[in-house]
């Protein structure tokens, strides 16, 4: 219906599809070997992986949307929570200043540095939980299912509302408090109720990339800037 967000979303999608079709035409007419995903999808050597234009466009839109909105919102909310919780900000800064001590000025951080950022990872998980950047997961029943006495018929689409799980006081005591320390040493990430990155065979394929991007953003943010209260 015109005027609704849903309608605007559809219009936006039409514009992106048009742009992607133009880019694909230009790429097909060009002999340049681009080092990106669109090039790989257009030039798949194995016919088993050949996708139609429509499927390629769907893949690119999925990656653009899933990879952009999640990482940018998590980074923004982490800055907000750190601003509101100076102790957490201080501990995070210490973790990153320790890493900088092992580097020359301007030297980039490496994979091992990223793996050592345990408090940073806890800050990101706590941010994702409290802000619930992704509200829920979509699934479809492949057979009749009985849950708590209710039958969900085969073929129904289900929305698993993960905010409800993220705020469950039995799983996360004082659920509305920003407490990154709750994630340290307890293996909460691998519990079967932790759906921050989804679960099962549809688990977010960009999980580690997303965590890496937010960690690197926080590294430069806390080692290059100071947050002041006004």
- Give the three-class secondary structure for 1: coil
Q: Which of 97, 145, 203, 227 binds ligand HEM (CB under 6 A)?
A: 203
Distance CA 78, CA 126 (A): 9
Q: How far is the CB of 143 from ligand HEM (least distance, A)?
A: 19
Binding pattern for the stretch 42-81 against ligand HEM, x by CB under 6 A and - elsewhere: --------------------xx--xx--xx--x-------
Task: For the segment 159-178, give every residue that binds ligand HEM (CB under 6 A).
Answer: none
42-to-48, 57, 139 alpha-carbon distances in Å: 13, 11, 30
Please tell me the distance from the alpha carbon of residue 110 to that of residue 116, in angstroms, as a whole number: 10
Asked whether the beta carbons of 175 and 168 are under 8 A apart, the reply is yes
Q: Which of 23, 38, 152, 204 binds ligand HEM (CB under 6 A)?
A: 204
Query: Residues 227, 159: contact at Cβ < 8 Å?
Result: no
Answer yes or no whether residue 133 interacts with ligand HEM by CB under 6 A. Answer: yes
Residue 180 or 198: which CB sits closer to ligand HEM?
Answer: 198
* Total residue length of the chain: 230
- Closest of 188, 137, 139, 190 to residue 163, by C-alpha: 137
The distance of closest approach from Cβ of residue 230 to ligand HEM in the complex, given in angstroms and rounded to an integer, is 28
Complex with ligand HEM: residue 85 or 198, whichever CB lies closer? 198
Binder among 198, 217, 218, 221 for ligand HEM (CB under 6 A) = 198
By CB under 6 A, the residues from 80 to 119 that bind ligand HEM are: none
Q: At what angle do helices 207-224 and 53-84 cross, to 10 degrees?
A: 40
- Which whole-number Å values give the CA distances from 110 to 32, 125, 206, in the listed order? 31, 21, 19
**Spatial CA neighbour of 78 closest among 135, 131, 25, 31:** 131
Q: What does the per-residue mask of binding to ligand HEM show for 136-155, with x meaning CB under 6 A?
A: -x------------------
Among 23, 81, 163, 199, binds ligand HEM (CB under 6 A): 199
Given the rule CB under 6 A, which of 7-15, 48-56, 108-116, 205-213 is the region that contacts ligand HEM?
205-213
Residues in contact with ligand HEM by the rule CB under 6 A: 62-63, 66-67, 70-71, 74, 128, 133-134, 137, 196-199, 202-206, 209-210, 214
């Amino acid at each position: 219906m015109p005027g609704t967000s849903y309608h605007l979303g559809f219009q936006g999608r039409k514009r992106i599809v048009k742009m992607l079709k133009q880019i694909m035409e230009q790429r097909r007419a060009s002999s340049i070997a681009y080092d990106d995903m669109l090039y790989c999808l257009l030039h798949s050597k194995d016919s088993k992986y050949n996708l139609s234009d429509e499927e390629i466009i769907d893949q690119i839109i999925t990656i653009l949307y899933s990879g952009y909105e999640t990482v940018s919102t998590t980074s923004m909310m982490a800055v907000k929570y750190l601003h509101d919780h100076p102790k957490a900000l201080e501990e995070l800064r210490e973790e990153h200043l320790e890493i900088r001590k092992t580097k020359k000025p301007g030297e980039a951080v490496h994979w091992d540095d990223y793996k050592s950022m345990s408090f940073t990872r806890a800050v990101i998980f706590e941010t994702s939980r409290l802000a619930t950047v992704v509200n829920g997961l979509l699934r479809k029943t492949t057979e009749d299912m009985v849950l708590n006495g209710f039958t969900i018929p085969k073929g129904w689409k289900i929305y698993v509302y993960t905010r409800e799980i993220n705020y469950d006081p039995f799983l996360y005591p004082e659920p509305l408090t920003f407490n990154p320390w709750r994630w340290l040493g307890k293996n909460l990430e691998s519990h079967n109720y932790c759906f921050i990155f989804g679960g099962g065979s549809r688990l977010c394929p960009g999980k580690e990339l997303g965590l890496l991007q937010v960690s690197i953003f926080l590294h430069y943010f806390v080692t290059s800037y100071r947050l002041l209260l006004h």
